[in-house]
Structure 1
Amino acid sequence: MKYTYLSLLAFLLTGFSAVAQDTTNVSNSIPQNATLQECIDFALKNQASVQQALIDEEIGKRDIASALSGWFPQISADASYNYNVKIPTNVIGDQVIQFGQKHTSALMFQADQRILDPSLLQASKAAKYIRLQNAQNTESSRINITVAVSKAFYDVLTSEEQIKIIDENIARIKKQLADANARYETGLVDKTDYKRAQITLSNTEAERKRTVEMLKYKYAYLKELIGADISQPLQLSYKAGDTMESEMLVDTTQILQFERRIEFQQLLTQQRLQQINTQYNKWTFLPNLSAFYNYAWDWRTNNGLSSLYDVDYPRSVLGVTLSIPIFQGTKRVQEIRKSKLQEKRIDWDITNLRNQINTQHQQALATYKANLNDWKTAKENVELSKEVYNTIKLQYDEGIKTYLDLMTAETDLRTTQINYLNALYAVLSGKLDVQQALGNISFK
């Protein structure tokens, strides 16, 4: 019966462990055919830098609680035992009298309560802004990871589409290779066209291989950004072209508001904390005021140690302590002056940050507009290169154009299609830079 009971218990524990493990795996698994928003949501829950920022935020809360705990009563207990090898003496009149006994012991409980303390005043004033600073650090981490994941997501989609374009190109070249071979066998042309087609096919297949290998790296990088396990499969859900095109527009007429930037908010919080530090240095001229209460038991005897605790002599004290720092060699004055200089330095940091944000916004806006124009040109070039290719293909089939003209048109078509994809990615990436410069990056 005992063996059966232990076996059943082990089975149940194993089952619960497996269920818990499955639950954990489900909560940390990437959705199949993940969208951009799902990738961002997953990253905000699993990315190391975001989780570290959240942990730092919790650590900050504990630091604040630890600093403010000084306002609570501080209770302590002290115990001692002494054996007086030589009992101290003193002279009273003409007599030498011993003060004390051979064995002494004491036990004391004491409660201290701070009433006025500059360091605790500073901790109370700064607590609100330290919490805000930690929360802003977490928000900054989330913004950065949102932008990085979005760019990596679009980069993967661009490479996926590039492979499709190359595959279409390879299919056309293979057909042209077969046509060139047939023309050669029928004696219409020499073997030059066939060899050129082979060379073009080999180069295009090599390009596809290179793009596929780079795509593996881009998937690995995206997994790293979202905090996914390297063994987890990752597939993205998208409708290439139309979906990315519909997401690439941004309002370029928005007015730049510095207060929306998390970096600006962080600097304002730092400025407030520095002002509190200056106030603290002024508070150091205040006295320290505290109250205390203690209760103690004393034991003493000249007999053996076994009788030391037979009789106790209790004592108790209630009092107030006032400590006034009168002169500390101008240290407090120098600290005040230094803190004010640090305030001025932060003022200049704010001015410098304003200029940097404005420059970043102008650069992001100019880059986005230029990329948008390049995208429009690339899109038009794709349509033109298709028309040119189709025309030259018909002329080649009729024997008007040479195979070299056809290969040139084929290369131009592939180049314009890839340029279009690169321009589309540049616009999407530029849009994210504009949104980040405006402080408009949102996340759940």
Structure 2
Amino acid sequence: MKNLKLILLLFAAMPFPVAAQSAWSLKTCIDYGLKNNRTNLIYANEKKAADARAKEALAAYLPSVGVNGTVDDNLKVQQTLIPAGVLGPEDVRVAFTKKFNTNLIARIDQTIYDQSLLTSLKANKYNKQQAELNQLQNEEMIIYNVSTAFAQIFVYREQLNMLRSNLETYRKQMEITALQVKKGTVLRKDLDKVTVDYNNGQSQIRVAESNLSLSENQLKYEIGYPVDKVLTVDSTAAADVFKADPISGNGSFLAENRADYRISQVNTKLLEIEESRIKAGVLPKLSAYAQYGMIGYGDQLKPSFSTMAPYSAIGLKLTIPLFDFFKRNAQREQAMYKRLNAEENLKIDEDRYRLEYENSATKVMKEQSNVDNNRRNIELARSVFRTTDLQYTKGTTDLTDWLNAQNSLKEAQKNYLNALLTHFQARMDLEKASGTLKTFYTGLPTANEN
């Protein structure tokens, strides 16, 4: 028994490999978001609602069946007067009903011709398209938001790496300056200057860590991932993912690529159908019906049921609207002007979307140039700092020059990070403006490809 316990203890103490969570690439995050973002359910329900509306419109042209029943208690039976000379020399009052009468009827109605209903059926196709485009637009918004949050994580990580490197430089300089103060070769104020910058660096790291945590939570929210769970993000290849392609914007833009433009087109078609439906309201409507019923009378309630007699009828019903011209004409004019405005807004939107595309393409190229310039500035600032650091070590320059060189490097790093984030944002704005967010997503490398 003791040997068994010893074996179990040794077994429990043995190191076993723990499956670590694999890092999520941008494509993995978007995949998860497209499946788990809560807005997906909303737009999926809207699509189902559009299907239900189509069935409702079709049902108006299908047979309708109804059953009605009534039981009347005539508290005071109405009498009819038969003039004198018909049944006798004096007027005769006669009741053509009894105290209780019951009526049960089943009726089926079928529309044979109603142009307004036929026109309304054409809207089913566009209602479905509208729901599908709304769903597509939501997916594009998820791609845009997830990509933006992912880019922020990359930039904050880059910032943390730079801040920590700078902090290590200040720490080493503090040690050197402290020794110099002990030897009496420099004043205490020089050590204080380095210490102040070191403390500032620590504060900046804490802020950057907080920003990184917030951006990670934002990414979890955008993809529908539990905020209280750890999400390991692989952002090492983000710079290549968001790298700008050479885009000139000369004629390659198509407004039809944008989901919002196609939604406006569908809305215009729906307004055309609504205008046609109102016009068709002046045409005659023809329907057929068939009914079967039973009716009974009695001085007491029970005989009114036991003496029920059947009856039936079939027929046609023709409805011709005659005196609602002014109302219907006003409705038609309202629908016409709505359609005309929608067509004009479509042209305005096309020009506006083209402007957004051209501006976004220009901004992407400009921001790419800014990123490259600021990256070169960092290398130049590093080179100047290394030279100044060597000179300070040899005693050929003072601490002020060393601090100025380090501050110049920090400024170059700050400008680079700002340019990098702005460039990432501009790239996503360009994808949105050109209507290629889905193409951007499908072209992303997977985690293995990274």
TM-score normalised per structure 1: 0.88
2:394 is the alignment partner of 1:403: no
For the 8 Å contact 1:259–1:265, the answer to whether it is kept is yes
Q: Which residue is 1:170 aligned to?
A: 167
The structural deviation recorded for 1:381 is 0.7
2:113 is the alignment partner of 1:116: yes
For the 8 Å contact 1:32–1:234, the answer to whether it is kept is no
Q: Which residue is 1:42 aligned to?
A: 32
**Secondary structure of 1:409's match?**
helix
Q: Which residue is 2:257 aligned to?
A: 260
Aligned AA (2:355):
T
Aligned AA (2:408):
D
For the 8 Å contact 2:154–2:236, the answer to whether it is kept is no
Q: Which residue is 2:8 aligned to?
A: none
Q: Which residue is 2:324 aligned to?
A: 328
2:306 is the alignment partner of 1:310: yes
CA distance in 1, matches of 2:39, 2:75: 63
The structural deviation recorded for 1:178 is 0.2
Q: Which residue is 1:234 aligned to?
A: 231
* Over 3 Å off, 4+ runs: none
Aligned AA (2:214):
Y
Q: Which residue is 2:447 aligned to?
A: none
**Secondary structure of 1:71's match?**
coil
Aligned AA (2:329):
V
For the 8 Å contact 2:288–2:315, the answer to whether it is kept is yes
The structural deviation recorded for 1:119 is 4.1
Aligned AA (2:420):
L
The structural deviation recorded for 1:402 is 0.9
For the 8 Å contact 2:248–2:361, the answer to whether it is kept is no
Q: Which residue is 2:14 aligned to?
A: none
Residues 441/246 of structure 1: CA separation in 2 closer, same or farther (3 Å cut): closer
The structural deviation recorded for 1:425 is 2.2
Q: Could you tell which deviates more after superposition, 119-128 or 416-425?
A: 416-425
TM-score normalised per structure 2: 0.87
- After superposition, residues 7-406 of structure 1 pair within 5 angstroms as 32-92=22-82, 93=86, 94=88, 95-239=92-236, 243-245=238-240, 247-254=242-249, 255-302=252-299, 304-406=300-402
Which segments of 5 or more consecutive residues in structure 1 lack a partner in the other structure?
Answer: 1-30
For the 8 Å contact 1:57–1:131, the answer to whether it is kept is yes
Aligned AA (1:256):
F
2:417 is the alignment partner of 1:427: no
What is the RMSD of the two structures over their aligned residues, measured on CA atoms? 1.8
For the 8 Å contact 2:244–2:364, the answer to whether it is kept is no
Deviations 1:141-162 (A, max 9, x none): 1112211110111001110111
CA distance in 1, matches of 2:426, 2:363: 7
Aligned AA (2:339):
E
CA distance in 1, matches of 2:157, 2:30: 20
**Secondary structure of 1:396's match?**
helix
Q: Which residue is 1:6 aligned to?
A: none
The structural deviation recorded for 1:346 is 1.3
CA distance in 2, matches of 1:134, 1:202: 56
Aligned AA (1:279):
S
Which segments of 5 or more consecutive residues in structure 2 lack a partner in the other structure?
Answer: 1-20, 443-450
Residues 88/246 of structure 1: CA separation in 2 closer, same or farther (3 Å cut): closer
Corresponding pairs, count: 411
For the 8 Å contact 1:45–1:51, the answer to whether it is kept is no
Deviations 1:182-225 (A, max 9, x none): 11112222222211110110111111111112222222222222
Deviations 1:350-409 (A, max 9, x none): 121122112111221121111111111011111111111111111111001111111111
CA distance in 2, matches of 1:321, 1:359: 57
Aligned AA (1:107):
L
